[in-house]
């Protein structure tokens, strides 16, 4: 669990990032979750865009994904959400 100070720090890191995944009408599937785990292992923080045809909000998608893969939801604004998971092999981001 991350603190509010750490969450604020992660938000500043995520602000300039572009979404690297789009969640569409296929929804959250095993293959999508596997790709997220791989991306989080290499980057530690990612941004996802939830399309209108997905049927769920960015907040709902963030909650489902975080529960499934053990990540932390940093932020959900509009159609985008930011996820963080500390890398097991090479931690890049030092939290305050």
Question: Which tens digits make up the pLDDT trace of 48-94?
Answer: 999 999 999 999 999 999 999 999 999 999 999 999 999 988 888 99
- pLDDT value, residue 39: 96
| Confidence check: pLDDT of 34 > 90 | yes
Longest pairwise C-alpha distance within the chain = 38
Percent of the chain surpassing pLDDT 90 = 89
4-84 has which fold?
Answer: Translation Initiation Factor IF3 (3.30.110)
- pLDDT value, residue 82: 97
Give the burial string for 57-91 (b: 16+ CB within 10 Å, else e). Answer: ebeebbeebbeeeebbbbbbeebbbbbbbeeeeee
pTM of the prediction? 0.92
Give the number of other CB atoms < 10 A from CB of residue 23: 25
Helices (H), the chain: 4-14, 30-43, 58-69
Domain ranges within the chain, ordered by starting residue: 4-84
């Amino acid at each position: 669990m991350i603190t509010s100070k750490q969450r604020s720090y992660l938000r500043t890191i995520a602000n300039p990032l572009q979404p690297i995944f789009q969640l569409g009408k296929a929804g959250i599937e095993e293959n999508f979750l596997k790709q997220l785990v791989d991306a989080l292992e290499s980057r530690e923080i990612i941004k996802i865009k939830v399309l209108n045809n997905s049927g769920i909000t960015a907040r709902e998608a963030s909650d489902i994904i975080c529960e499934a893969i053990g990540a932390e939801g940093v932020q959900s604004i509009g159609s985008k959400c930011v996820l963080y998971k500390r890398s097991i092999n090479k931690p890049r981001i030092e939290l305050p």
